[in-house]
Chains A and B, each alone.
Chain A
């Protein structure tokens, strides 16, 4: 039996008067890859930003309903948002390393959470870079700037940074859309490895990518979760006509 990691119950999201997510209810399972697809503006990125409360930064954003992670409603009163974000790492569309060394990029999160010992930090940096399949390429240039790496390496550095705080959940918002095919392939391979240890939630515009790497796929349209099922089912015989029309390129 798979264990539910993120349970979303009757979630509504508003940006001012715009109703961005409408009554979304579904479960994301532990140590699986879940892909979100849908046309631009359908709410998929807004949804994953709910999972680590990134929408808190938008003043007009209002959330109703619940997202329960490990038994706790993250929109409940006693939630430590800093701790939540430690547990829910995020990787963005464009690689965005901090303007500091490779080492410091990875050590940033753990330091923020109070890790000070050099040996401990060294261990975390090495483990995280190995986890992001970057260690062999950067082990001799840990002190050079992270921004000096290639695009694909920078994105893996961001993944290393995200897993350095040992989160359970990794959110990825179109992590390969700015990368060339080879770098994309490396990241995809990495995502498949990462699910051994993390619950991965990924937004992608590339349906073949969703088909390649995910276990389950969710299709959003105009703020509705239209269909959510196993990935092979979604891409061969979806139940909903709108899903069928979207994946065959009839709209979007």
Chain B
């Protein structure tokens, strides 16, 4: 019965790797969501909490990396196990990057906490809402192995792109009207760009989830609207 016990141990360790990914995803999502909240509400204290937690995200990413190496050394995985462990290593990089983005946005929030905002923030919080849904759905798809849920993510990324363009247009007009707004407007533009990038990282994660589940690499473009010329 040794073979079956080995399989049980492998599955327990694999489940732990998955739990670590889910935890990392949640921490990164929280960082971005909180940072945007702090930006909107001009709350430097909350922004500082996001910055302080960045070390925890890095530590978990490091732990996940070693856990993947130990898993590989111990089991020499093949098939879906191999696809999972290599994908987890990629996913960790994408998720950790989103956590970093939370830190970047928190820094903007601190910088703008005591200045009057050039406009009420509406579309940036909208972007983070979309991103949050993407992250929840992708992690859910990864957790329970749902291909359809993973594929839904790609269309959501189009929404993020639209919102970013809209923000850019609006801020450009504000900057043209009054050059004194340029400094703050360019910071807000950066935030929008950062959130758009975070969406790209989530589509990478969704690609990986689909690879684990199907063994095939997907073309994200198949699930998105055609690119504008």
Q: Mark B70-101, 1 if CB is under 8 A from A, else 0.
A: 00000011111111000000000000000000
| Range class of the B interface residue count | 10 to 19
State the interface size on chain A (CB cutoff 8 A). Answer: 15
Q: Which stretch of B2-10, B168-176, B177-185 is in the interface?
A: B2-10
Quick one: which of B1-54 are within 8 Å of A by CB?
Answer: 3, 6-7, 10
Q: Compute how far the CA of A252 lies from the CA of B78 in the bound complex, rounded to whole angstroms.
A: 14
A61 at the interface (CB under 8 A from B): no
Q: Are B3 and A248 in contact (CB under 8 A)?
A: no
Contacts of A243 in B (CB 8 A): 79
B216 at the interface (CB under 8 A from A): yes
Q: Mark A227-243, 1 if CB is under 8 A from B, else 0.
A: 00000000111100001
Return the contact of A249 from the options B7, B83, B214 (Cβ within 8 A).
B7
Q: Mark A204-233, 1 if CB is under 8 A from B, else 0.
A: 000110010000000000000000000000
Known contacts A236-B215, A237-B215, A238-B215; A247/B3 CB under 8 A = no
Q: Are A248 and B76 in contact (CB under 8 A)?
A: no
A188 at the interface (CB under 8 A from B): no
A250 at the interface (CB under 8 A from B): yes
Quick one: which of B47-75 are within 8 Å of A by CB?
Answer: none
Could you write out 16 A-B pairs with CB less than 8 Å apart? Answer: A207-B78, A208-B76, A236-B78, A236-B79, A236-B83, A237-B79, A237-B83, A237-B215, A237-B216, A243-B79, A244-B80, A247-B78, A247-B79, A248-B78, A248-B81, A250-B7
Given A237-B216, A248-B79, output 4 extra A-B contacts at Cβ < 8 Å: A207-B78, A235-B78, A237-B83, A248-B7
- By a beta-carbon cutoff of 8 Å, the part of chain B in contact with chain A is 3, 6-7, 10, 76-83, 214-216
List of 4 A-B pairs having minimum Cβ-Cβ separation, nearest first: A237-B215, A247-B78, A248-B79, A247-B79
- By a beta-carbon cutoff of 8 Å, the part of chain A in contact with chain B is 207-208, 211, 235-238, 243-244, 247-252
